[in-house]
Each structure stands twice: as C-alpha cells, then as structure tokens.
Copies of this chain bind each other. A is one copy, B any other.
Amino acid sequence: MSGYSFPPAGYGYGQQPTAQPYVAPSASYSSSPSEPGADPYNNPFSSLLPSVFPPGTDPNILACFQVADQDRSGFIDDKELQRALSSYNQSFSMRTIHLLMFTFTNTNTRKIGPKEFTSVFHSLQHWRDIFERADRDKSGKIDPNELREALLSEGYSVSPVVLDLLVSKFDKTGGRNKAIEYDNFVECCVTVKGLSEKFKAKDPGYTGSATFTYEAFMLAVLPFLIA
C-alpha cells in the first residue's frame, strides 16, 4: 500500500463546488429564454433545460455567463467556454474544455448551464490559487515536485512512478523539460481527480483496492481519453 493515500478528511476538494445542493432558481439571472427552473414537475426532458444559478452567486459570475453565452441559448457550449476562458486567464485546449464539461455534467453533452458554469468558475479560481502557490519562482510553470505537492494539497498522494507518468503526459514537451504550465496543470488535476473518484466509487471502504467489471472499467476510464 505504499504510495497510496486517501486522507480521510482531505479527499477531494475541501471547497468542492459540485457539493452544493441543487437549488431553486435565482431571480438574478433571468435572461434565459426557457425559464430555467428546479424542475418541480419531474420533467423527463429536464436535461434539455438550463440549470440555474445558486442563490447568492457572485454577480461577476452572472456577468461572465451572460458574456460567454454568445448565442443567448442559456447554455454555454464547448466553443463558448473555450473563448470565455481564453479571455479570462489564457488559452485552454479543446480537450481540457471537454474534460471540464464532462467533470461537471458527467455526460458528453458538451453544454453547461449556469450551475455548472458556476462550478467551473470556482474550480478554476481554486486551481489558479493552488498553481500560484506551487509556482514559487513565478515562472508560469511548476516542476514535478511542485506538482506532487499541489496534488497532495488536494488530497491526492501519487507515487513517484505515477508522478513521472503524469509529467510525461502533461508536460508540453513530452516530459523532456519536466515543467507543467497552468492549462496542463488544470487538465492533470481534472484527470487525477476524476480517475480517483472513479476508483473511490468502487472502493467505498477505503481499502486501497477496487473491483471493476469489464464494463464498469471501460465506462470509468474511456471518458478521460481524448475528446
């Protein structure tokens, strides 16, 4: 069991935004054409309707959503999200965008509503904080040891072998420079977090071993492959 750790209190995100309960619509975002609601009628087509902003959502997020939602559909699609994030911090690959969308919807629909947009916003704020704390020399890149510490601060303890593999995958130079930039750091975090959660779902007792059927294994893993 060396190299394996799910800190009982520290697993996952302390401030995990997806842990917020699904709530009734906030009156503060009313521009959606389809009257987003908390679905009191158990509508079987509810996935076709946008979600809603949690009450008390930061007005900055609402404003960002309205700017990002260029076609005023009430949803943000992958291209809209990529454009919105590029204008906020920097560029993200379409793969990272799809991974983010998958993480917050658990589907391949590639559209997110206000609720998931809020989660993406908070997650990226959180990852930016983690990255900037890890990037001590402010080079815009972190080294493998800083990546290990950043993952550990999120509750993910990875072995040296797994760390090497992550660096070789998420370093833009294929592991030669051993330096991870912010966009790849986000992709790496989303991947480690997502895979760890798939593992944890099959190891609810934190035994360190998880049993999958072939079907469950493929369904757990394939969404993290290239989108």
Q: Residues of A at under 8 Å CB distance from B?
A: 1, 3-4, 6, 95, 108, 110, 158-159, 161-162, 165-166, 168-169, 174-175, 191, 195-196, 199, 203, 208-215, 217-219, 221-227
Contacts and interface: CB of A to CB of B under 8 A. Distances in A.
21 contacts: A4-B213, A4-B215, A6-B214, A161-B215, A161-B219, A162-B219, A165-B218, A165-B222, A169-B222, A169-B226, A191-B222, A191-B225, A195-B222, A199-B212, A203-B214, A209-B211, A209-B213, A210-B214, A211-B212, A212-B212, A225-B225
A23 to B, nearest CB: 30
Given A95-B226, A165-B108, A227-B169, A221 B221 contact: yes
A222 B158 CA distance: 12
Contacts of A165: 108, 218-219, 222-223
The 10 closest A-B pairs by CB, nearest first: A211-B211, A4-B214, A165-B222, A108-B168, A162-B218, A221-B221, A226-B226, A199-B217, A209-B211, A3-B215
Contacts of A212: 199, 209-212
Nearest to A212: B210
